[in-house]
Amino acid sequence: MYLTLGRYRSIRNIVIGEVFGVLGIIIGLGFAAYSDIWVSALTPLGATTTEFIPATVPDIILSLILLPILLVAYNAAVGRSGRT
């Protein structure tokens, strides 16, 4: 039985990967930023403006740029290994 590698061969699959990447960033950093409301006694507005937005926006931008490049490179590496 062979593993199926290189699943991101179509634009649709790359876009799905991008969507899940952005959702993961928003959920993960949202949890981290808004848990500081209780831990550090921040206000919700303070957590949004000082932690959530400054951390989330650059991460989303970098994810939207780098993730497709890395997925295409991964597919090329898998293609060279002879596995499908």
Give residue 1's pLDDT. 40
pLDDT in tens, 26-75: 999 999 999 988 898 889 999 999 999 999 999 999 999 999 999 888 88
Domain ranges of the chain: 11-78
The helix (run of H) or strand (run of E) holding residue 34 is helix 11-39
Residue 79: is its pLDDT beyond 80? no
Residue 16: is its pLDDT beyond 50? yes
Q: How many CB atoms lie within 10 A of CB 24?
A: 12
- Structure-token pair, residue 27: 């959920």
d(CA 70, CA 82): 19
Give residue 5's pLDDT. 54
Give residue 7's pLDDT. 75
